[in-house]
Amino acid sequence: MSNLPKLEGKATVVMTVNGSPITIEVDGTAAPVTAGNFVDLVNQGVYDGVAFHRVVREPQPFVVQGGDPQSKDPKVPMARLGTGGFIDPTTSQERYVPLEIQPEGSDMPVYSQTFDEAKIKAQPKLKHSRGAVAMARSRLPDSASSQFYFALADLPFLDGSYAVFGYVTEGMDVIDDIQQGDRIESAKVVSGLDNLKN
């Protein structure tokens, strides 16, 4: 993990979708590696032009997911999206971040295992409430790269299994209107970039 960016403190990211801003407070106090990865990718322009490839509102509101860099290419079919991650230009390898979830009452996150696997009974400090921003991953705990999702509702069954790293503070109405295929026009770090340590 020493080679991964970390966020020491908080940062604010403004994402523009369908011409409207979404403001995200990114929390490096409880998820320094996950938050650092996201802020670093925003700062590198990785999310500019990327599509939301997974939108689940039925049978009840669930998630809006994006962040697959393959989606910048309009020729890549939607069905193939959800498999790509950030390829680090310095190593030409995909960058993965470990599963990182801090239990309430603890000073340190738990890494590389879900709360069930670690036999932790506590709630996570950062919960899947409506507006939570978290990392998407495959079955393997340490498989998150660049894909993230917005929680459209409180999703307590995901707590302790997926890493929340921030919350939408403005623009949930914009997220509620996102359709599959909509793109992130731009994402900018508007404050807290000095808290990013590479």
Assess if residue 198 is contained within a domain.
no
Angle at 52 between CA 48 and CA 55, to 5 degrees: 160
Q: What is the CATH number of the domain that holds 165?
A: 2.40.100.10
Total Cβ atoms within 10 A of residue 37 = 29
**Confidence category of residue 182, pLDDT binned at 50, 70, 90:** very high
* pLDDT score at 92: 93
What is the rounded average pLDDT for all residues in the chain?
Answer: 96
| Spatial CA neighbour of 146 closest among 187, 191, 181 | 187
Q: Note whether residue 57 is domain-resident.
A: yes
Q: What is the pLDDT of residues 114-154, one digit of tens each?
A: 999 999 999 999 999 999 999 999 999 999 999 999 999 99
Report the alpha-carbon angle 43-69-92, nearest 5: 80
1 domain-assigned? no
Residues 37 and 95: their CA atoms lie apart, in Å, by 9
Residue 103: CB partners within 8 Å, gap ≥ 6?
110, 115, 120, 122, 123, 124, 125
User: What residues contact residue 62 under an 8 Å CB cut-off, 6+ apart?
Assistant: 56, 151, 152, 153, 155
pLDDT of residue 50: 97
What global pTM score does this model have? Answer: 0.97
Domain assignment present for residue 89? The answer is yes
Give just the sign of the alpha carbon dihedral 165, 148, 14, 187.
positive
Mean pLDDT across 153-164: 98
**pLDDT of 102:** 98
- The candidate with the shortest Cα–Cα distance to 165, out of 116, 101, 106, 117, is 101
Per the structure, the count of domains in the chain is 1
Domain assignment present for residue 115? The answer is: yes
75 is a domain residue: yes
Q: What is the pLDDT of residue 36?
A: 98
pLDDT of res. 78: 85
Q: What is the pLDDT of residues 47-101, one digit of tens each?
A: 999 999 999 999 999 999 999 999 999 899 888 899 899 999 989 999 999 999 9
Residue 71: inside a domain, yes or no?
A: yes
Question: Could you tell me the residue range of the domain that residue 100 belongs to?
Answer: 6-192
Q: Is the pLDDT of residue 7 over 80?
A: yes
Is pLDDT at 1 greater than 90 in this prediction? Answer: no
What's residue 79's pLDDT?
86
Q: Is 2 exposed, middle or buried (0-12, 13-18, 19+ CB in 10 A)?
A: exposed
Mean pLDDT of 159-173: 98
Give the model's pLDDT for residue 2: 82
Query: Could you give the angle at the alpha carbon of 175 between the alpha carbons of 22 and 101, nearest 5°?
Result: 80
